[in-house]
DNA sequence: TTGAATTGGTTTCATTATGAAACCATTTGA
DNA sequence: TCAAATGGTTTCATAATGAAACCAATTCAA
């Protein structure tokens, strides 16, 4: 592979996000963390990921501030992996992925898990809106490019 | 690698989405497509991706119904790659990634591109809400698991 | 209208990332 | 107190990726 291109320098925020969480496993681990999993063995069982890979991914997710290792809640000797605030703020990303998957990747009638408000049971969704709350589609949104500050 | 695990059978819609668009390049290509790029050489230049990889990715994005190949708009002989409706519906995913990146992956004061309403110039954003419009965070949302239809 | 450059790929090859399995030290648990 | 589970690390084979070379068809420029 020679060297996987980094998008750190890109001025597109989506590209930087993908640079940080765009690999095969990271978002799945984050999903499981949202789901309440905290222990190495839980992630490993849930994802069927090789242990060495899980180990490395947890390490980099911690290095990137998305997870943090905390002592076991029950006083045990093991560590637990918890989402940081930065990690929890990936919630809209997860919901967006879920919403798209629900719409396109299930047969009609096929069952899937659903995300609901814990208190009211209402379905949870998300939409792109302008500041004043109007719905907006890709055709009406434009990306304002920014002059590269490196090149004055 | 022996065989990359497929999540097709998973009943979590996020997992299926990641199975389809969760690889390193696909969402970057989709981002460029949102940005109006249509030609092989445009994607290649924009992403710095190897041509064989781009070729293969375009092929699978088409196979998965996210892009479609259409004859050149200007009557030329080449093809153009356009988003399908399924592809355009990834818009919230892109916006969610962008929003997170803006928040966490730029130095204070560092410039980045911004997404705005073409007509009013207003910033575009997205939030997770319940059906009746209340904002909701990860702590208040729960995933309703679904019994596996395969195992009655 | 001919020659050169561009486009849109494919093929080949070297290298990296991944996955499976084996291994191991430490903690539980019975 | 012995056995199993936990939380990894190491080793090795293989798959995915990237760079470069190559090539046919198209477009451009003189």
3-state secondary structure of A144: strand
Predicted confidence band of residue A5 (pLDDT cuts 50, 70, 90)? low
Q: Give the helix, strand, coil percentages of chain B, each rounded to 5.
A: 40, 20, 45
Res A10: pLDDT: 83
What tokens does B32 get?
A: 């460029």
Q: How confident is the model at residue A24 (pLDDT cuts 50, 70, 90)?
A: confident
Flag whether A8 is in a domain.
no
Dihedral sign from CA coordinates of B92, B94, B97, B99: negative
Domain encompassing residue B91: 13-140
Q: Does residue A50 lie within any of the structural domains? A: yes
> Is A46 near chain B, with CB under 8 Å?
no
Buried b vs exposed e over A113-148: b needs ≥16 C-beta within 10 Å? bbbbbeeeebebbbbbbbeeeeebebebbbbeeeee
State residue B42's pLDDT score.
96
Does this complex have an ipTM over 0.90? yes
CA distance B78 to chain A (A): 24
- What part of A 126-145 touches B (C-beta under 8 Å)? 126-132, 134, 136-138, 140-145
Q: What percent of chain A is modeled with pLDDT above 70?
A: 93
Distance from CA of B46 to the nearest CA of A (A): 11
Burial-class residue B31 by CB neighbours within 10 Å (0-12, 13-18, 19+).
buried
Label residue B73 by pLDDT band (50, 70, 90).
confident
Helix ranges (DSSP H) in chain B: 13-21, 26-34, 40-47, 51-63, 85-88, 91-104
Which of the four pLDDT bands, split at 50, 70 and 90, describes residue B5? Answer: low
Whether the Cβ atoms of residue B81 and residue B40 lie closer than 8 Å to each other: yes
Q: How confident is the model at residue A81 (pLDDT cuts 50, 70, 90)?
A: very high
Q: Are A38 and A67 in contact (CB under 8 A)?
A: no
Measured from the Cβ of residue B71, the count of other Cβ atoms closer than 10 Å reads: 11
Does any strand C atom come closer than 7 Å to the Cβ of A12?
A: no
pLDDT digits (tens, 9 = 90+) for A100-128: 999 999 999 898 999 999 999 999 999 99
Whether residue B30 is contained in a domain is answered as yes
* Domain membership flag for residue A1: no
CB neighbour burial string for A59-70, b if at least 16 within 10 angstroms, e if fewer: eebeebebbbee
Tens of pLDDT along B75-118? 777 899 999 999 999 999 999 999 999 999 999 989 999 999 99
Please tell me the total count of domains within chain A. Answer: 1
pLDDT at B142 over 70: yes
Is it the case that residue A3 has pLDDT exceeding 90?
no
What is the enclosing helix (H) or strand (E) of B130? Answer: strand B124-130
% of chain B with per-residue pLDDT over 70: 93
Q: Which nucleotides of D are covered by protein (CB under 7 A)?
A: 5-11, 13-21, 25-27
In the structure, how far is the CA atom of residue A15 from the C1' atom of nucleotide C26, in angstroms? Answer: 42
The reply to whether B26 falls in a domain is yes
The residue whose two tokens read 């719409």 is: A103
Residue A81 lies in a domain: yes
Contacts of B50 in chain A (CB under 8 A): none
Q: What is the mean pLDDT of residues B32-40?
A: 95
What is the rounded CA–CA span in Å between residue A56 and residue A50? 10
Distance between CA atoms of A4 and A6, rounded to whole angstroms? 6
Instruction: Place A55 in a pLDDT band, splitting at 50, 70 and 90.
Output: very high
Is A57 near chain B, with CB under 8 Å? Answer: no
Spatial contact of A68 and A47, defined as CB atoms under 8 Å apart: no
In a domain, B5, yes or no: no
Pick from A22, A124, A145: which is nearest to B113 by CB?
A145
Can you give the CATH number for the domain in which B92 is found? 1.10.10.10
Inside any domain, residue B6: no
Taking a C-beta distance cutoff of 8 angstroms, is the pair A113, B144 a contact?
yes
Return d(Cα A35, Cα B136) in angstroms, integer: 16
**Residue B24: is its pLDDT beyond 90?**
no
Greatest mean pLDDT among A91-100, B5-14, B73-82, B108-117 lies in: A91-100
């Amino acid at each position: 592979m020679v060297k996987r291109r980094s998008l750190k320098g890109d001025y597109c925020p989506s590209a930087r996000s993908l640079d940080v969480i765009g690999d095969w496993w990271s978002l799945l681990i984050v999903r499981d963390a949202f789901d309440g999993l905290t222990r190495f063995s839980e992630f490993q069982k849930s994802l069927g990921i090789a242990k060495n890979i899980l180990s490395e991914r947890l390490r980099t997710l911690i290095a990137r501030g998305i997870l943090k290792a905390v002592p076991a809640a029950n006083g045990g000797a093991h560590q637990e992996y918890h989402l940081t605030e930065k990690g929890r703020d990936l919630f809209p990303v997860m919901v967006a992925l879920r919403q798209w998957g629900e719409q396109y990747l299930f047969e009609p009638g096929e069952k899937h898990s659903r995300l609901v408000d814990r208190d009211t049971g209402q379905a949870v969704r998300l939409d792109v809106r302008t500041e004043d709350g109007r719905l907006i589609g890709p055709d009406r949104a434009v990306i304002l490019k920014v002059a590269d500050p490196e090149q004055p």
